[in-house]
A and B are shown apart, each in its own frame.
Chain A
Amino acid sequence: MIKPNLWILPPSKQPWIMRRNLFFLLLSLFATGCVTTPPENLPRAADLFPADALMIQRAVLTVHGRQFTLNGYLALSKTGGKRLIVTENFGSVLADVLMKRDGKIFVMRSSQLFRPEWIRRYVVADLECIFGDSPQTNCPGKILSPTHFVMEHRGYTLDLQIVETKPGPQPPELFDAAKKEMP
């Protein structure tokens, strides 16, 4: 038979232990609360960018602790919409998506690493959060500087920096959904 001790006595027998445990419980809850507090919603940032421009981006995507570097080329047009091309380090296209002004999404190219449904679900969502014209509600992240953004999702983190901005109108073909390339 196990003899009662300080660790298995019912709470009523050791009120000071209860108080101590409550302290640790509150401490742990507080600490846990600090860790799991959802990140704030990203403030609207669209005003930081020119209406017409090509923006070159460098990003580190962290998924389950593993990091991948990506390059992004984002063409913005006040009439045509947004076109984002994502490549890996050496230039191979991983994702290519067109967002029209009316909100229609066209996945122009995809890859094994970025499948069409993932592009629609994640890439477009983050694109809208950072560069969208209208405020978004589900954008956990922060703005570290006018050119540095961090999106903090449950499954991944995207640390994105705009490394170069070339203001000016972009070629209209970029925003033509009919110009989709065949695989």
Chain B
Amino acid sequence: MKAFFIFATAILTLATFAADDATLQSVADPQPVLQDLQHKMSSLGSVYFELTQERHLKLFTEPLIGEGFMLIERPDQIRWETTAPYQSILLGDKKSVAQFEFNDGKWEKLKLGFPQMLQRVMSQMSLMNQGKLDALTSDYTISVSTNSEETILTLVPKDENARTVLAAIEVKMTPDFSATREVVMHEPNGDFTRIIFHREKRDVKFPAGTFDQTKPLDIAAVKTAVDHAP
């Protein structure tokens, strides 16, 4: 379960950050870069991602692929939705979390086990979306490498137990932090999960119901609204 929180936190909190590994240079003092990132994030009102999640297990010859969306709106709204190969919605804010599964043609709201733990993840996410990187530096050792095409943040869990399930998280972004490209979560055994962000729109106005924890608006309607947003 611990891995879940780490992964979930990583995905939900770090995806708001984000090319090739050639000539990457490690930044001796990452603090100015992190502060710049923090400054830019703190001005973000919302962010919309379309993504592909690749699960790379050494045992399998090809990655296991999923498609989905991640939506974040200040101050604390989050929606993580998987659209293929199954349909699932995870919603959270400072007060509560909710999960829906699409089953036999209709959405079913789940009675979540461990909701308070998911709640914690969402809370951290909210902090991150407001640019409060302090929440991360207490749990991770953060290093930065960069070249002309990308900036990579590498986060290594400080906790020894956490490192048994998560070796490191890499967040790949454009050098000016204007877009997140990938988040890669490396496991100690060589398996990893890569989340590739195909499309990102910032400061979009989400339609009503996007984060509704009782009857969330269909993602197609959200996408249409985002597509038509200026």
* Complex: A111 Cα to B3 Cα, angstroms: 10
Contacts of A90 in B (CB 8 A): 4, 7-8, 11, 185, 193
Contact string, A104-116, partner B, CB cutoff 8 A, digits 1/0? 0000000111000
Contacts of B104 in A (CB 8 A): 144, 148
A138 interfacial by beta-carbon distance below 8 Å: no
* Complex: A85 Cα to B55 Cα, angstroms: 12
B22 interfacial by beta-carbon distance below 8 Å: no
Q: Taking CB as reference atom, which chain A residue is nearest B57?
A: A85
Contact of A58 among B86, B90, B111 (CB under 8 A): B86
* Complex: A88 Cα to B166 Cα, angstroms: 14
CB within 8 Å for A159 and B7 given contacts A54-B60, A56-B64? no
A181 interfacial by beta-carbon distance below 8 Å: yes
B189 touches A60 (CB 8 A): no
Contacts of A159 in B (CB 8 A): 103
A66 interfacial by beta-carbon distance below 8 Å: yes
CB within 8 Å for A163 and B64 given contacts A66-B111, A69-B99, A88-B3? no
Q: Taking CB as reference atom, which chain B residue is nearest A73?
A: B64
A27 interfacial by beta-carbon distance below 8 Å: no
* Complex: A74 Cα to B2 Cα, angstroms: 24
A88 touches B4 (CB 8 A): yes
CB neighbors of B among A60-90 (8 A): 60, 62-63, 65-69, 73, 75, 83, 85, 87-90
B113 touches A63 (CB 8 A): yes
CB neighbors of A among B93-146 (8 A): 99, 101, 103-104, 110-114
Contact of A112 among B2, B53, B191 (CB under 8 A): B2
Q: Give the interface size class of chain A.
A: 35 or more
Contact string, A127-153, partner B, CB cutoff 8 A, digits 1/0? 000000000000000001000100000
**Chain A CB within 10 A, most for which of B60, B82, B103, B189:** B60
B59 interfacial by beta-carbon distance below 8 Å: yes
B111 touches A65 (CB 8 A): yes
B50 to chain A, nearest CB (A): 18
Contact of B113 among A68, A92, A112 (CB under 8 A): A68
CB within 8 Å for A181 and B189 given contacts A67-B111, A89-B90? yes
B101 touches A91 (CB 8 A): no
* Complex: A65 Cα to B115 Cα, angstroms: 13
* Complex: A161 Cα to B103 Cα, angstroms: 9
B60 touches A171 (CB 8 A): yes
Could you show 29 A-B contacts with beta carbons less than 8 Å apart? A54-B60, A58-B88, A58-B101, A60-B103, A60-B110, A69-B88, A69-B99, A73-B57, A73-B64, A83-B59, A85-B59, A89-B82, A89-B88, A89-B90, A90-B4, A90-B7, A90-B8, A90-B11, A90-B185, A90-B193, A92-B6, A92-B165, A111-B1, A113-B1, A159-B103, A161-B86, A171-B59, A171-B61, A183-B164
Residues of B with Cβ closer than 8 Å to A?
1-4, 6-8, 11, 53, 55, 57, 59-61, 64, 82, 85-86, 88, 90, 99, 101, 103-104, 110-114, 164-165, 185, 189, 191, 193
* A83-B59, A90-B4, A159-B103 given; 9 more Cβ-contact pairs under 8 Å: A65-B111, A66-B113, A67-B99, A91-B53, A92-B6, A93-B3, A93-B191, A163-B86, A174-B60
Top 8 nearest A-B pairs (CB, nearest first) are A92-B3, A66-B113, A90-B7, A58-B86, A67-B110, A163-B85, A91-B193, A164-B85
